[in-house]
């Protein structure tokens, strides 16, 4: 009498097939990479080779839109950061101001904050001479958690613990090189969640 196949041999037919390469999941010229759809042309520019990993390592998620704004005191730093982010492939929507002519920071801070609150931009950066006035302005917009940061650690912790969605900088206090590091840290640090999610929820209830 022939032996029946072992349980292991039976189960092997139900093994989950290996994941298909990303190139098999194209849709309308876009390819799934990490969590977002990326234009295939952009992937090819980055050295995409049809698998989860290109020559330089795992594919990055598509870079999101950043709202950026300043008054006259923050104009030069705003322009510097726009160029810095553009070189990294990050798109900014500039809400002004457009010169060093004296102006009122609440106008521009409010415009950038609304873009973030309404979901038109993922995060925001606002700049005035000290960063104080424009951060207060941004925080008046419902749904905004704007943190004024003058060092890298503060930028990291406000993302980890506060889930801050806007960053304020003081152009008269923070130089361009330090500002670059602060912005990089702010944009590349995720929210830790857990107990911090509860605290952020309690914080946002105060907006009632």
Query: Cα separation of 51 and 20, whole Å?
Result: 8
Residues 6+ apart with CB under 8 A from 101: 72
Query: Cα separation of 17 and 12, whole Å?
Result: 11
Q: Which of 80, 103, 161, 196 is catalytic?
A: 161
Mapping DSSP to helix (H, G, I), strand (E, B) and coil, where does residue 109 land? helix
Alpha-carbon Rg for the chain in angstroms: 23
Query: Cα separation of 22 and 53, whole Å?
Result: 10
80 catalytic, yes or no?
A: no
161 catalytic, yes or no?
A: yes
Count of CA atoms in the C-beta half-sphere (13 A) of 207: 12
Count of CA atoms in the C-beta half-sphere (13 A) of 170: 13
Q: Which of 92, 121, 128, 149 is catalytic?
A: 128
Catalytic residues: 128, 161
């Amino acid at each position: 009498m022939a032996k029946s196949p072992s349980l292991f041999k039976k189960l092997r037919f139900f093994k989950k097939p290996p994941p298909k390469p990303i190139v098999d999941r194209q849709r309308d010229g876009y390819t799934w990479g990490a969590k977002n759809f990326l234009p295939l042309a952009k992937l090819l520019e980055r050295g995409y080779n049809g698998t989860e990993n290109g020559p330089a390592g795992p594919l990055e998620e598509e870079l999101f839109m950043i709202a950026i704004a300043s008054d006259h005191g923050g104009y030069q730093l705003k322009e510097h950061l726009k160029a810095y982010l553009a070189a990294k492939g990050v798109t900014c929507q500039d809400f002004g101001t457009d010169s060093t002519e004296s102006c009122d920071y609440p106008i521009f801070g409010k415009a950038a904050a609304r873009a973030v609150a309404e979901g038109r931009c993922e995060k925001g950066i606002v700049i005035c001479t000290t960063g104080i006035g424009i951060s207060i302005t941004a925080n008046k917009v419902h749904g905004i958690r704007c943190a004024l940061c003058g060092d890298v650690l503060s930028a990291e912790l406000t993302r980890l613990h506060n889930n801050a969605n806007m960053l304020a900088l003081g152009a008269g206090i923070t130089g361009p090189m330090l500002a670059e590091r602060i912005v990089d840290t702010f944009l590349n640090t995720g929210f830790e969640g857990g107990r911090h999610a509860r605290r952020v929820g309690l914080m946002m209830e105060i907006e009632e």
